[in-house]
Structure 1
Amino acid sequence: MAFSALPPELRSLCRRLTATKVEQLPALLPSLLRDLLRCKEPLSRSYEAKASDNSSESTVLVHKLKTQISTLLNSRTSQGRFVGVALVKAMVETGGWECLRTSEPWVRGLLSILQRKDPAVIKDLCVVTLVKIYTLMHAYPTLIREIVTPTLPTFGTACLQILKPPATSKVAKAPNSLIETIFEGFSVIIPLYPTTLRQFATKLRVETRSYVAPTVSDGTIVPASLQACSRRLVIRLHMTAVKGGDSTEWTKHLDGIITTFHATADQVLRAIQENWESVSGHPLESTLQRVDFDKDPQGGGDSLDQLPPWTGIYAGSERLVGLLDFICEYLRCFTKTTVTIPVSAIVDIVTRISSIMPPIPGKEKSASIQMNPAVGREEKDELWTVFPDIQLAAMKLLFVMTQRLGRNFLPLAQTSLEQLLRMFESSYRLPEIRIIAFLLTKEILQLCGPTMEKLTVEGLSLIIKACCRDLLGSGGHLKRPKQSAASIQNGLKSKSVSQNADAFLGNSAEDEFISVSLSSEHVSAGAALLTTLFTHVPQQLLPSSLRAHMLKTAILCQIKDAQVASVLHPVRDKSGKTPAVILPYLTQQFPHDESVEVLRFNFRPMATGPRNDAMDIDEAPIEDASEDESSMNGFSFNRPLETSVPGPADHTPAEAAETSAKAQDLFLPKRPLETVLRSEEERTTVVRPPPTNLLKRKSEEAEIAISKRVEIDTTATTVISAPIQASINPPSQAPKTGSVGAQDEEDSSDNESVHLNMELDADDDDDDDDDGAEEN
């Protein structure tokens, strides 16, 4: 639908640009851009066709606007040039092809601004605008031939002069924000025009050398965003290779990064006598022989094909982390042609890191970890300080591989899970380690969780406990660790322990639980892992106490997906019963959720426990808990459950009571009788006790428990297990006594029980006839 009326914003825009001083235009730029974006119809209209009534005025105003923008680009003041650049970007985005085909003077003006000594913010916006123009012109071959091809080399030369100004000039180094914009701009246009930008590939690789994996030895701070965009640029430089050689260039450069990683690790990990053996051909013994223990760990070089030099454990660890992140970026970035990922070499890196187990305080030293006596104690302490960061980068590499390879990662899933568990055991105290461990465990479980063996499932107990502890802590259900008022040794108070006077005071109920501040990413990762543990892990292999702990966490933290998953994936004992029913908690917390409503009215468990077999959240402590993990497992669940049931404004007390009664009827049935259909083809047979034993059974009725089952005939097609009185008396003829059978009959007088009792009475005569025939 086209709007033929001329928008008033176009007239206002032209008038304001003419009447306002150039120095005041930057303050009006937000409103100017808003008005310009509302003039899409006249800006994108072709004026070569037959014009309508108001097209002449529109043509004049559009031409006037373009002339004013060109004047601003050539303005003598920086304020005018800044506004002109911003308006050019808005014009090409709004007008489309009509503005692009006449944008050659604007492109020339932008290139001239890029080569001036203007402030960095103007050059930043200028680079963004030119990249946007080149990106939009990629769909039009005519515009590529007429505008892009002649001007793109000038753009590349101007950007390189900003990154590395000539030695004779006194221009200061460009700020990191401008460098990041240039790198990101080249990353965008290199896949579009690789042949034209091939001449700049070598120079760009040299300029990014100090940003892909910086260290403290460089003496500068490189933001994480600048590191990421420089890595993306280096990766996409392989597209500029000669036709057919881009995949070879990609593989060659990735192999060089892996080789650099192992050379750096030889220096950083020299304090450890590693028992790791490379499967990708890295000669560990020969490299260790070249390590000089008389000098500090060092690496890198001054040549253009090497990364900058570094010295010290801290700088070496930063180089290792940067290289691991570089490999992750290689797996994330797309390629134009098919490439071969060196999976074995990447897994070899993770295996080398995971094979090192740092010493854990309070435990005996592992026999597999042997320290090098030629390395001093200070270097060893520095190594164990930075080693968790290296483990974190290795976990991220595994996580990126699982996302990139998808189902193809299945052969490596079991090995990767073992590596993850080894690294998590030594560094799970760090929140960032727990976040990536939760994410990676979820991905692995979704691949191979249902096929896991019992020993593997039991090995997940530490991650499961950490996940539950974080969720309970973020929800305010984590119990505060108890502290004794004073330590007594040999009957005397220890003088070495400082006493807290407040510890003698009684703690109130509000102080028993503490709230742990965790990021939203951390909480969502834990909730997703908890749901996956119910859906993708064989529930019969989980220890009962651990599953109970998971259920408590899901209920107290009100994680709907985890609760629904636990209902859909129950655990049954040897008799086929479900030991815990959490449907009442689920419906109480989420009464208006559609999935919960579907579950309420459609899910029927095959068999449940006794009548009151709802989950008791005050029982089932975690078994096999060590003293070191008392704070993780010492939870108390005796607080009233905070639910999200709407208030009186949404439901009246009568409606709430009715809903609660229905939920009790639905999820906790009183089980007046149980029908088991053996075959659908056979006719249902109802067996009734002989009338000769009626008096005797009535006298013994008070001694029969409610939950006791009475099987009359094991060979019958249908077995009725119920109180005896319910099987011989319809509801209208029930004796009005205080016996257990009568009370149970009143509770079970719904439609289903009435029909079944009517069926029993209808078959009563047949059974009497059969009994009479047998007596005769």
Structure 2
Amino acid sequence: MATPSDGTNAQAVLRAITYRLSSTPPRQLPQVAAQLAGQIWACKDLISSPLGSTKQGNEGSIIVNRFRTYLSTLLQDRTIEGRWAAVVLVKATIEAGGVEALSKSNAWVRSLLGMLKKPDPSTTRILAIITLTRVFILTWDYTNLIREITTPALPAFIGTCLSNAENQRCSGGELQAILEAFATLIPKHPTMFRTHESQVRSTLLRILSITSSTVGSEKYYTAEHRRSAQRLLVLLHNCAPKQGAPDKWNETLRATVTAAHTTCDRIFRSVIEDWQSTSGVQPSLAINALLQGEVEVDNDDAAGMTGWKGVYAGSERLVALLDLLSSQMETVTAGAVTIRIGLVLDLLTRLYSLRTPSAKLATVKPNQQISKDEREALFAILPGIHVAALELTRIILHRFGNSVASITQPLLAQITWLFQAEASYSGVRTSTYGALANILKLQGPTLGRGDVSDVESIVKACCQDLLPTAQVVSAAHGVVNGSSSQDGVLGQQASKTTSANVPATLRLAAEALLPICFSQIAPTYLPGRLRTLMERTAVLTQHKDALFASVLNLASNGSRSKTQPSLLPLLAMQYSQSAEVEALLRPRMPVIRTGRSGSGESEADEEEYEDERSAIVNGYEDTADGAHDDEEVTNGLPDPHQNISGTADHEDLYSASPKRHVRAVDPEVTHDKRKVMDNDDDSAHTAKRVRAALTPDALLPDAVGSGFEPDHSTAQSGIPDSLATARVTSQQRGLAPASISTEGAFAGYNAGDMVDIGSEGSDFEMPPLTMEQDTEDEDEEDEQDEDGGG
């Protein structure tokens, strides 16, 4: 919420802007226009406030009206500098003022349209085009403003821009601004462009037809012009009437593919192609036709482009058609369209089937009717055509994703086959890396061993493009040679520098491909030498993503007994401050909530847990709280199937004494030492036997009648008596709580729940309760003597 002080400050700023505009000479306004445009945003609340919400004589309304009036006057200024500054300030005012300033911009829009017809410099017209386009965009959310501003002004804007584009005074920047403005406005206003569609299409086709090899052309268009023209030509399908946009889009696609095949028929005539169409494409030339003279096309092709003459002009036309197909694939459409992807794949197969012959593979069959010079010119332009085809392949894979997963296998075979012949061209390597990266993202883990062996040459070239070049300089003679770095031991100095011959686009493509090879190719199929080269490249180039991918996807190890090497130490050393490295080295699992309702319950549970733990550590349990119920006592009983070592480990879980090693007890000795628990004479139940914990002699040193013996290993090792005594004492303290806990458990055990071990089918054994000597035989003899005496 704006405070009164903010409103006063905004009024002061707007008053200062108005004063500076009125006091500065018009020829000096371009120097201060940028600063004034930035200051307008400081008073946007004042400009965007409706005048109806203020009083008639409010000072803020007076200042705003004065500023707008001066801008309207400045748009009609006689000087070029004044009009240029006015356009800059009008755009800033409309953007800062919002809907309030936009609703009152009708007069400014008419002035800007009139400025496009004046012979002003191209920079002024470019600013006017940008400002008007921005005004039309801002009206999209308001139907009343579209009706009041856009509908009357847009047809005049389109006609004026087309006239300026065909004029000789139109500069490259102005043409680029016109193309981008049309591409922005056509999807939202197709009906207004419908009347100018033919004129717009002819202008675009002229831009795409004229290349550097075109004879008699007075204009030259840059690559940026062609890309904008291709995108705008694809968007013209929105102007089709009665929801015919999808049909128009497919018609443009078929026409472009047909024109590309027609161009291929001409420029590939010097060789005999080993290709047959699978989509029903018929050749434009007769098979047995007599070929003579220079290759050319006199009339317009199926796409509407003008004719061309010469192999080089034909190659540029084919590249332009492939780029148009790429733009058609990646440009967003307003509605759903049906794409016949088979037409495009058939064209790509034809282009990939012809490659530059090499010394090892000479598979090209020459056509004897055509001269050798034309055939050599064809081989010179083939890499450029293949670059455009690879870019089209990459866009298709990126655009359609898993929908075209079935075509990745034949495309991979064609790309690897092409790379073997034209790997020396940097453009081919750049496009191949991008296409292979998209293929690996889609079908990398499913590639077989044979496919990985085919890709091996591409991965090696990728590593070589990233590795720094080594120049060995002789210290004595200063001779630079290509020897290895091992020669440095013999008095030579090796200096490694990054190769300056590697283009930036090639290096970026190789850097993007390397981590994908680590993560998407199965490690079991990667040869050991190739894996070593990839890891070496990642280390020497300090490629963070590749190092991460190598650490997360370890190489396959045939021998499981050997430890698999990893680049994790190097990664941690080079990127120790990285959050990803921290998460990889020290993963922190999130806290798992158990569904407790509030913090009070968790705090109470923690306090109860601490009390129980302290009681166990101190060697006793508090029994003053009352007897335990049957369930707790049952849970406290030792497991009859638990072994001695498991019991000992459980007892030492919270013990404060050091962990001890218990000697194994002979099961036969334990079996002989049994004790029958005496029940009351008046009890109606039969005598039962219960099984207690298996307690060897060493576990109960304080039992009555047990002769505790010190550890023989301690006595024999030469340890002083004081240390041995301290060790025995700590063991006794650690064992005392376990014996007390066992007795408490049996004291609360119900006699009715005891297990009858007197039966023949019982598997239970009765461990000794104490370490006293077994006197069962003596008691029986005494009873017999008493009976005999009685």
TM-score by length of 1: 0.71
SS, match of residue 348 in structure 2: helix
**1:428 corresponds to which residue?**
423
**1:569 corresponds to which residue?**
553
How many angstroms apart in 1 are the aligned matches of 2:343 and 2:299? Answer: 24
How many angstroms apart in 1 are the aligned matches of 2:642 and 2:328? Answer: 65
1:19-98 superposed matches below 5 A: 19-51=23-55, 56-98=58-100
1:48-447 superposed matches below 5 A: 48-51=52-55, 56-165=58-167, 172-215=168-211, 216-218=213-215, 219=217, 220-284=219-283, 287-289=285-287, 293-299=291-297, 301=299, 306-360=304-358, 362-366=359-363, 369-447=364-442
Instruction: Quote the offset at 1:684 in angstroms.
Output: 11
Pairs aligned (count): 597
How many angstroms apart in 2 are the aligned matches of 1:588 and 1:326? Answer: 48
SS, match of residue 451 in structure 1: coil
2:263, 2:317 within 8 Å by CA — same for their partners in 1? yes
How many angstroms apart in 2 are the aligned matches of 1:387 and 1:231? Answer: 22
How many angstroms apart in 2 are the aligned matches of 1:232 and 1:278? Answer: 28
1:526-537 superposed matches below 5 A: 526-537=510-521
How many angstroms apart in 2 are the aligned matches of 1:731 and 1:566? Answer: 51
How many angstroms apart in 2 are the aligned matches of 1:217 and 1:735? Answer: 102
How many angstroms apart in 2 are the aligned matches of 1:198 and 1:160? Answer: 14
How many angstroms apart in 2 are the aligned matches of 1:324 and 1:199? Answer: 29
**1:610 corresponds to which residue?**
none
How many angstroms apart in 1 are the aligned matches of 2:116 and 2:505? Answer: 40
How many angstroms apart in 2 are the aligned matches of 1:207 and 1:732? Answer: 105
Structure 1's 191 and 602: CA in aligned 2 closer, same or farther, altered over 3 A?
closer
Moved more, 32-41 or 373-382: 32-41
Instruction: Quote the offset at 1:732 in angstroms.
Output: 14
Instruction: Quote the offset at 1:439 in angstroms.
Output: 1.9
SS, match of residue 277 in structure 2: coil
1:622-701 superposed matches below 5 A: none
Structure 1's 682 and 307: CA in aligned 2 closer, same or farther, altered over 3 A?
farther
Check if 1:515 corresponds to 2:498. Answer: yes
1:300, 1:306 within 8 Å by CA — same for their partners in 2? no
**1:559 corresponds to which residue?**
543
**1:717 corresponds to which residue?**
none
How many angstroms apart in 1 are the aligned matches of 2:434 and 2:482? Answer: 43
- Could you list the per-position Cα deviations for residues 217-248 of structure 1 after superposition, in whole angstroms to 9, with x for gaps in the alignment? 15343101111111111111111111210110
1:438, 1:529 within 8 Å by CA — same for their partners in 2? yes
**2:765 corresponds to which residue?**
none
Structure 1's 176 and 733: CA in aligned 2 closer, same or farther, altered over 3 A?
farther
How many angstroms apart in 2 are the aligned matches of 1:509 and 1:732? Answer: 67
Instruction: Quote the offset at 1:409 in angstroms.
Output: 2.1
The one-letter code matched in structure 2 to 1:246 is: A
Q: Which runs of 5+ in 1 are unaligned?
A: 166-171, 486-498, 604-680, 692-727, 737-757, 759-776
How many angstroms apart in 2 are the aligned matches of 1:595 and 1:205? Answer: 51
Of residues 460, 482, 486, the one that matches 2:455 is 460
1:398, 1:440 within 8 Å by CA — same for their partners in 2? yes
Moved more, 593-602 or 402-411: 593-602
The one-letter code matched in structure 2 to 1:88 is: V
SS, match of residue 580 in structure 2: helix
How many angstroms apart in 2 are the aligned matches of 1:45 and 1:730? Answer: 95
Structure 1's 502 and 556: CA in aligned 2 closer, same or farther, altered over 3 A?
closer
SS, match of residue 277 in structure 1: coil
Structure 1's 355 and 543: CA in aligned 2 closer, same or farther, altered over 3 A?
same
SS, match of residue 513 in structure 1: strand
TM-score by length of 2: 0.70
1:439, 1:525 within 8 Å by CA — same for their partners in 2? yes
1:213, 1:318 within 8 Å by CA — same for their partners in 2? no
Structure 1's 580 and 97: CA in aligned 2 closer, same or farther, altered over 3 A?
same
Check if 1:479 corresponds to 2:470. Answer: yes
CA RMSD of aligned residues (A): 3.4
- Could you list the per-position Cα deviations for residues 122-176 of structure 1 after superposition, in whole angstroms to 9, with x for gaps in the alignment? 21211111111111112111111122212222112211221235xxxxxx34222
- Could you list the per-position Cα deviations for residues 394-427 of structure 1 after superposition, in whole angstroms to 9, with x for gaps in the alignment? 0100111111102212111112211221222222
**2:8 corresponds to which residue?**
5
1:573, 1:579 within 8 Å by CA — same for their partners in 2? no
Structure 1's 324 and 461: CA in aligned 2 closer, same or farther, altered over 3 A?
same
Check if 1:598 corresponds to 2:572. Answer: no
1:43, 1:94 within 8 Å by CA — same for their partners in 2? yes
1:6, 1:42 within 8 Å by CA — same for their partners in 2? no
SS, match of residue 187 in structure 2: coil
Instruction: Quote the offset at 1:90 in angstroms.
Output: 1.3
The one-letter code matched in structure 2 to 1:349 is: L
The one-letter code matched in structure 2 to 1:335 is: T
SS, match of residue 452 in structure 1: coil
2:471, 2:482 within 8 Å by CA — same for their partners in 1? no
Structure 1's 682 and 545: CA in aligned 2 closer, same or farther, altered over 3 A?
farther
Structure 1's 15 and 267: CA in aligned 2 closer, same or farther, altered over 3 A?
same
How many angstroms apart in 2 are the aligned matches of 1:318 and 1:117? Answer: 35
**2:696 corresponds to which residue?**
none
Structure 1's 539 and 314: CA in aligned 2 closer, same or farther, altered over 3 A?
same
SS, match of residue 195 in structure 1: helix
Instruction: Quote the offset at 1:524 in angstroms.
Output: 3.5
Instruction: Quote the offset at 1:320 in angstroms.
Output: 0.8
Instruction: Quote the offset at 1:682 in angstroms.
Output: 9.6
- Could you list the per-position Cα deviations for residues 292-335 of structure 1 after superposition, in whole angstroms to 9, with x for gaps in the alignment? 62121112625997212211111111111111111111112111
1:186, 1:233 within 8 Å by CA — same for their partners in 2? yes
The one-letter code matched in structure 2 to 1:596 is: V
Instruction: Quote the offset at 1:339 in angstroms.
Output: 0.6
- Could you list the per-position Cα deviations for residues 687-711 of structure 1 after superposition, in whole angstroms to 9, with x for gaps in the alignment? x9x99xxxxxxxxxxxxxxxxxxxx
SS, match of residue 460 in structure 1: helix
How many angstroms apart in 1 are the aligned matches of 2:481 and 2:462? Answer: 30
- Could you list the per-position Cα deviations for residues 60-110 of structure 1 after superposition, in whole angstroms to 9, with x for gaps in the alignment? 111111111111111122222211222211111111111111111111111
The one-letter code matched in structure 1 to 2:451 is: T
How many angstroms apart in 2 are the aligned matches of 1:320 and 1:264? Answer: 6
Structure 1's 500 and 562: CA in aligned 2 closer, same or farther, altered over 3 A?
closer
How many angstroms apart in 1 are the aligned matches of 2:322 and 2:385? Answer: 9
How many angstroms apart in 2 are the aligned matches of 1:730 and 1:597? Answer: 46
Instruction: Quote the offset at 1:514 in angstroms.
Output: 4.0
SS, match of residue 289 in structure 1: coil
- Identity over the aligned pairs, expressed in percent? 30
Larger radius of gyration between Structure 1 and Structure 2: 2
1:152, 1:196 within 8 Å by CA — same for their partners in 2? yes
The one-letter code matched in structure 2 to 1:338 is: A
How many angstroms apart in 1 are the aligned matches of 2:31 and 2:243? Answer: 52
The one-letter code matched in structure 2 to 1:119 is: P
How many angstroms apart in 1 are the aligned matches of 2:371 and 2:25? Answer: 69
2:255, 2:302 within 8 Å by CA — same for their partners in 1? no
Structure 1's 593 and 352: CA in aligned 2 closer, same or farther, altered over 3 A?
same
- Could you list the per-position Cα deviations for residues 538-573 of structure 1 after superposition, in whole angstroms to 9, with x for gaps in the alignment? 101111111111111112222222222222222221
SS, match of residue 91 in structure 2: helix
SS, match of residue 573 in structure 1: coil
- Could you list the per-position Cα deviations for residues 490-525 of structure 1 after superposition, in whole angstroms to 9, with x for gaps in the alignment? xxxxxxxxx997769987654353421345543343
**1:450 corresponds to which residue?**
445
